[in-house]
Amino acid sequence: MSRIVVTGRIPEPALEKLRTTHDVDAWEGSDSISRLELLRRVAGADAIVSLLTERIDAELLDAAGPQLKVVANVAVGYDNIDVPACTERGITATNTPGVLTEATADIAFGLILMTTRRLGEGERLIRAGQPWKWGMFFLLGSGLQGKTLGVVGMGGIGQATARRAKAFGMEIVYQSRSEIDPATATELGARRVELDELLAISDVVSLHCPYGPSTHHLIGAEQLAAMKGTAYLVNTARGAIVDEAALAHALRENQIAGAGLDVFEQEPKVHPWLLEVENVALVPHLGSATVETRTAMAVLAAENTLAVLGGKQPPTPIT
């Protein structure tokens, strides 16, 4: 029987899977586990099932010990894991691609609608008890039909967002490390362009690339200045892909029309300037937050864990 440390609360079906054959030590606190407590708990673990709020670095891997075989992240993004440090120690790292694609694309599209149609502003106005009545020019937004969506990072979530945009009558351009498969490109009518062109021609720019050194502040002052003054930026990927201070400045100066953010540079902190501008919709990292999706993510992480502990190839290793 192996010892599995789970760094936070996860849905019961995943815990049941793990408990059937293994000894599970799951953090049950409503708040995130402290770093000290995590370092203490992982000692002697054969597997760690991690949440994206926990940093899995060399110090933590060493605190676990040489018997550690797998780190199974309950997230598709794995910027919280030092993958080279895992590889050096012969530890398999896994993530949960695929199962959260649709839920995250829903939130990306929700933010596109929130920001282009000023839904957050309208909601805040009513809740603040401000007087209002229907008016020809009251809270006018911007329609999506015939406009261009620029997808930065055309993996599964980018494609699913593009599919929604196409259904709304948008044209699609994308920037990606590689060309998408021709059938999908034809289905979406999607054209691959360089980032500069994407920024210059898109009416909505939606970010779906992974976060890492090459995408840190990919969207900063210069890129925001390259966008149309009528364009919107949406980020459901990772906060630090955008320079938040530069974005807040661009929004304050009406350099772009608006933004929708599900992720932030220093979660759960939000840059104070963003709280002061009306033309931004802010939601607290809800991309995968449905009962179905979170359950599927946790179950996939459990399957990854059990496969590695059983000497098998996990379904979704980080490569």
The minimum distance between CB 241 and ligand GLV, in angstroms, equals 12
Strand order from edge to edge, sheet including 92-94: 23-26, 3-6, 47-50, 70-73, 92-94
**CA 111 from centroid of its chain's CA atoms:** 13
The minimum distance between CB 287 and ligand GLV, in angstroms, equals 5
| Ramachandran quadrant class, 71 (left: phi over 0; alpha: psi -120 to 50; beta: rest) | beta
Question: What CA–CA distances, in Å, run from 172 to 84, 98, 152, 228, 309?
Answer: 35, 21, 11, 16, 43
Angle at 29 between CA 27 and CA 35, to 5 degrees: 65
- Asked if 7 touches ligand GLV (CB under 6 A), the answer is no
Catalytic annotation, pick one of 238, 265, 271, 294: 238
Question: What CA–CA distances, in Å, run from 38 to 5, 54, 57, 118?
Answer: 9, 9, 12, 42
Q: Which residues pair with 111 in a beta bridge?
A: none
Our CB check for ligand GLV shows the closer of 147 and 294 to be 294
| CB burial of residue 183 (10 Å; 0-12, 13-18, 19+) | exposed
Among 2, 206, 288, 305, binds ligand GLV (CB under 6 A): 288
Task: Select the span of 72-80, 83-91, 125-133, 160-168 touching ligand GLV (CB under 6 A).
Answer: 72-80
Query: Does the active-site annotation cover 244?
Result: no
Residues 214, 137: Cα–Cα separation, whole Å:
43
246 closest CA partner among 230, 231, 228, 233: 233
- Asked if 115 touches ligand GLV (CB under 6 A), the answer is no
Instruction: For residue 36, give every residue at least 6 positions away whose Cβ sits within 8 Å of its Cβ, in sequence order, or none.
Output: none
Query: Does the active-site annotation cover 22?
Result: no
- Asked if 316 touches ligand GLV (CB under 6 A), the answer is no
Catalytic annotation, pick one of 118, 208, 285, 294: 285
Task: Select the span of 29-37, 40-48, 75-83, 201-209 touching ligand GLV (CB under 6 A).
Answer: 75-83
The minimum distance between CB 49 and ligand GLV, in angstroms, equals 14
Our CB check for ligand GLV shows the closer of 174 and 211 to be 211
Our CB check for ligand GLV shows the closer of 79 and 171 to be 79
Our CB check for ligand GLV shows the closer of 151 and 190 to be 151
- Asked if 158 touches ligand GLV (CB under 6 A), the answer is no
List the interface residues with ligand GLV, window 11-70 (CB under 6 A): 52
Query: Does the active-site annotation cover 163?
Result: no
- Asked if 99 touches ligand GLV (CB under 6 A), the answer is no
Residue 310 DSSP label = T
Task: Select the span of 20-28, 73-81, 171-179, 185-193 touching ligand GLV (CB under 6 A).
Answer: 73-81
- Asked if 101 touches ligand GLV (CB under 6 A), the answer is no
- Asked if 71 touches ligand GLV (CB under 6 A), the answer is no
Tokens of 33: 């586990």
Residues 140, 54: Cα–Cα separation, whole Å:
42
Q: How many residues bind ligand GLV (CB under 6 A)?
A: 7
Among 18, 70, 76, 270, binds ligand GLV (CB under 6 A): 76
Residues that bind ligand GLV (CB under 6 A): 52, 75-77, 100, 287-288
Residues labelled catalytic: 238, 267, 285
